[in-house]
Structure 1
Amino acid sequence: MWNSMSANNCNTYLIDAGARVLIDPGHLTLFEHVNAGLKELDLGPGDIDLILSTHVHPDHVEAVKWFNGTPALFAVNEEDWRLFREMAISLGAGMDVEAYVPDFFLAEGELDVKGLKLEIIHTPGHSPGSVSIYWRERKVLFTGDVIFKEGLGRTDLPGGNGELLKRSIKRLSEFDAEWMLAGHGDVVAGAERVRRNFENVARYWFNFI
């Protein structure tokens, strides 16, 4: 995990278990701290098999461009890809759409990456195509910007929907997770802490969306 609390960058996670999967590479201009972390592991962008984006907001997806020309594949939910293209059109030349074309789309269900099995969960609300990722073998739940430690994702951005976000959070609370790794902020470690975090977020934050 590479945690960033600056410039609204996201947390970036590496799964290295038979396949190397990078989740949410973050802002392009701030990717060097992740690249430095990869170097400490004797890895580089060319060693990554797959990049998964939980959603297409720039603070999560922009650094995908860093991997252009490497063997790494890129995947995102199709609904969010459509949102990304619409955002690119509205922003004009500021977005290079061709640098972010997915190799495939993430669909609900199991994703097998060289024997590494991950479960893709469609969790709309923060964006229409937001996904969460469950690594059942290790009981790890990657929640993107759906839910954080003591907080939840914004719904005032294009495609946001408060009711869908609440449903997504309730759904994620049913997973057997000992680790909750969110798109921003701290990790929630321990099954009881994860359970309480879901309960506390629902009790307090659901009143505001």
Structure 2
Amino acid sequence: MAVKITADLSFPEVGLPSSPFSGQRRLNANSKRGKVSVIRAIQIQEEAAAAGPTPTRYQARRTRRPQNIEGDFFVDHTCIDCDTCRWMAPQVFTRIGEMSAVFKQPTSGEERLKALQALLSCPTSSIHTEKPASDILQAQKTFPTPIDQQRIPGVYHCGYHSEKSYGAASFLIVHPEGNIIIDSPRYTERLARDIEMLGGARYMFLTHEDDVADHRKWSERLSCDRILHSGDVDNSTADVETKLQGSGPWNLGRDVQLIHTPGHTEGSVCLFYKPLKILFTGDHLLMTETGLSICERYNKCSVPMQIDSVLKLLEIDFNWIIPGHGRRVEFKDREEKDSILKAFVEENYSQCRWFHWSVSVSSKDDDGVHVDLTAGKKNLEVGKLSSPSLTKRACKDLTSKLLSLFLQCSVSMSSSLGLEDLQKPPFKDWRKPPLILQTYAASTTACLRL
């Protein structure tokens, strides 16, 4: 016997545009790539159509976007808007039409080198030069590249971002007790040899499940032990050597501390490098083109929990944020850091958007359960938006169904759940006061999370 679930969606305050989700178009809600806006996909098609016949993926890789300024460097239509080139070479690349484009050709040797480094790091190989770059080998030799040898010596950006991690950056700490790679770059033998020239790696610390990319290849090539929180372990990472348990913190040698910051994912962990007061945050906290962000759009666990984890960072004395995505942040001192983080947390608390999930039993028979979801915005304590019983594992099946519904922007949808599923929390408590289904609904591609 199964219970039929009918869900209705309404958005009285959010004001979403008409749904572009029609026909057979579907997104893979479990991947970052799948969360790229469908509106953007439509825009890509329009731009490509303006340039001529609809290109194949291979042809699009060489189709110059019309938004590029004339000259040697250009971005093609396969850009996924990961922001890599824009923070690596801001003098050359910018964002136009929800993709990157060249707004100014390099005019100096330094600008050209940064543009070539961005070309090599682009996860989708979407950056090109009209003429073969005779100096591309010199650019390859710069990775891993020092971030700032004067202020934070021994800390390197690995380059070679991977599409598997939506263009996340990887870093290397050269350490007397053994070097540490933070998150996985795209595997290339050249980069592996260059990392070996710096002493290889003892550890590969994976901040969370999204940015593991080619972790296994790197572990085998460099014989380094991988570290990942058990909350983020799945089939692809089941063989990692060290699975962190509990809420930490954990020490990695004398001066490296791992800090559990759940929210973006259940097992998100930051690495604090004490000697240089650097916090490597993965996807937990970053600086975008518009300011400090937790990228709630890509949250996979609990936004309120993630905000609480940001508040937790007030206990740590760091001056640098080096994230997996976006720009690095340097604070003048701890006072400035604490002031900025407090203001950020307060702003995000006040701007929480959430769904009421009210449940009523059909009057005709006990098999019908009506689930009404209504978008709203109220001044509630964020703690009330996250219940320990609402874990992503317990609600996985229903989340998948509702997320699919949300992405399609349908009016209603029917699906079935076995009665055995209703014996687990929170399903068994459905007839009690409404549960709260938390989400951020800034766009039609926002994630629906229990």
> Which TM bucket (shorter chain)?
0.7 to 0.9
Instruction: Give the drift of 1:74.
Output: 0.5
Corresponding residue for 1:92?
none
Corresponding residue for 1:66?
217
Aligned equivalents of 1:67, 1:130: Cα separation in 2: 21
2:197 to 20, 33, 42: 42
Instruction: Give the drift of 1:190.
Output: 2.6
1:136 to 274, 287, 293: 274
Instruction: Give the drift of 1:72.
Output: 0.7
- Write out per-residue CA displacement over residues 179-198 of structure 1, whole angstroms, 9 at most, x where no aligned residue: 11111111111344644542
Corresponding residue for 2:310?
169
Aligned equivalents of 1:186, 1:4: Cα separation in 2: 16
Aligned equivalents of 1:176, 1:51: Cα separation in 2: 24
The answer as to 2:251 corresponding to 1:111 is yes
Aligned equivalents of 1:155, 1:183: Cα separation in 2: 16
2:323 to 182, 185, 189: 182
Aligned equivalents of 1:112, 1:154: Cα separation in 2: 29
Aligned equivalents of 1:174, 1:130: Cα separation in 2: 17
Corresponding residue for 1:10?
168
2:229 to 77, 87, 97: 77
In the alignment, residue 112 of structure 1 is paired with which amino acid? L
Structure 1 residues 194, 4: CA separation in 2 closer, same or farther (over 3 Å shift)? Answer: farther
Q: Give me the identity figure in percent.
A: 20
- Write out per-residue CA displacement over residues 46-104 of structure 1, whole angstroms, 9 at most, x where no aligned residue: x11100001011xx1012022242321111001111xx23xxxxxxxxxxx3x751111
1:152 to 294, 304, 310: 294
Aligned equivalents of 1:196, 1:6: Cα separation in 2: 34
Aligned equivalents of 1:189, 1:4: Cα separation in 2: 24
Alpha carbons 1:79, 1:128 under 8 Å: kept: yes
**TM-score when normalising by structure 1:** 0.75
In the alignment, residue 183 of structure 2 is paired with which amino acid? D
Number of positions where the alignment pairs a residue of Structure 1 with one of Structure 2: 184
Alpha carbons 1:3, 1:10 under 8 Å: kept: no
In the alignment, residue 52 of structure 1 is paired with which amino acid? F
2:344 to 201, 205, 208: 201
- Larger helix fraction of residues: 1
**TM-score when normalising by structure 2:** 0.37
In the alignment, residue 74 of structure 1 is paired with which amino acid? R
Structure 1 residues 142, 68: CA separation in 2 closer, same or farther (over 3 Å shift)? Answer: closer
Structure 1 residues 55, 165: CA separation in 2 closer, same or farther (over 3 Å shift)? Answer: same
Paired residue secondary structure (2:207):
coil
Aligned CA RMSD, in angstroms, stands at 2.8
Q: Which has the larger radius of gyration?
A: 2
Alpha carbons 1:75, 1:104 under 8 Å: kept: yes
Instruction: Give the drift of 1:41.
Output: 7.7
Aligned equivalents of 1:61, 1:2: Cα separation in 2: 14
Corresponding residue for 1:53?
206
* Unmatched segments (≥5 aa) in structure 2: 1-156, 353-439, 441-450
